[in-house]
Structure formats: structure tokens, C-alpha cells
Amino acid sequence: MDNLIVRECIYEDLDNIISLQHQWHNEEITYGFIPADKNYLETRLGKYFLVAEVNNEIVGFCYGAIHSADNMPVINNGQLYIEIEDIYISLENRGTGIGSTLLNKILEVAKENGIERSLIYSSTKDLDNIIEFYKKHDYKTWYIQMCK
């Protein structure tokens, strides 16, 4: 996408992020998703909170947090990793590569800061597509939890 800009989220973007989170909630595509409030989002601001902008409109976002592994079977104790907490692309912009661009960029920022490992979880109702998306980005399944 030629007119795509991925950049760090700033405080002035948060109302747009909240609007996108409400769109996400209204789509009912994720089990238990509750939009975050502005105060919480403000605590997430920094190099691991990115927005995707097309024609001066924020159409997606991704944020994560750095953690130290503790008793995890897939990451060595003490090793730092980024956990991708949320990634969302507006409905009309899905399938355009924006999600991949956001994910690649946040992982690139982490790598620039010495962090090689990452985790992501999903409560999506469309498990097949989300697994396919993450497998394209070399993620492996650690565990799966299902309900009936």
C-alpha cells in the first residue's frame, strides 16, 4: 500500500484508537474483548505502540509490552520477549498487508532493542485465519485452549 505510514502512537491518536476498539468490539469477532479506556492506552504509549495511517486516517494499531520469561517452556528463564497485546485493522482495510506491516515493524523495533523473542495470543472467533496469518510470520503454536 503506497500511502501507508506506520509510526509510533502519540497521545493525540488515542481517541482514534478508542474508536477503532469500539469498532472491534461491535464486530463481535473476539471472545470477551472489551475496549480499553484512555488512561490504560496512555500507559502503553511508547516505542511498542504503533499506528497504521492511510491518507491521514488511523486504520489500525498494534501494541505490546516487554517481559522477562519466568518458568516458560518456550522461552528461557530471564530472556526478554515482547508480548503483542493487541493488533487490529479496520474492517475495510483488512487483507491489504497492513496487519503484516504493523507486526513486522513492532518486531523490528523490539529487535533493535535486543529482543529476539515474541509471544502473541488470540481470542478470535476465526481461529483458522488467525493461525494462518501468524504462521506466515513464522509463529509456532505453543498451546491451544478450547471451549464447548
For the beta carbon of residue 131, count every other beta carbon within 10 angstroms.
Answer: 15
pLDDT at 110 over 80: yes
| Cell 486504520, residue located | 59
pTM of structure? 0.91
pLDDT of residue 141: 86
Q: What is the pLDDT of residues 61-72, one digit of tens each?
A: 999 999 999 998
pLDDT of residue 1: 63
pLDDT of residue 105: 97
pLDDT at 146 over 80: no
Q: Where are the alpha helices (DSSP H) in 28-146?
A: 38-44, 98-112, 127-136
In 3D space, the residue among 26, 43, 24 whose CA is nearest the CA of residue 90 turns out to be 24
pLDDT of residue 88: 94
Q: What are the structural domains, with CATH classification, of the chain?
A: 4-136 (3.40.630.30)
Length of the chain: 148
SS3 53: strand
pLDDT at 12 over 80: yes
Residue range 50-62: mean pLDDT, rounded:
96
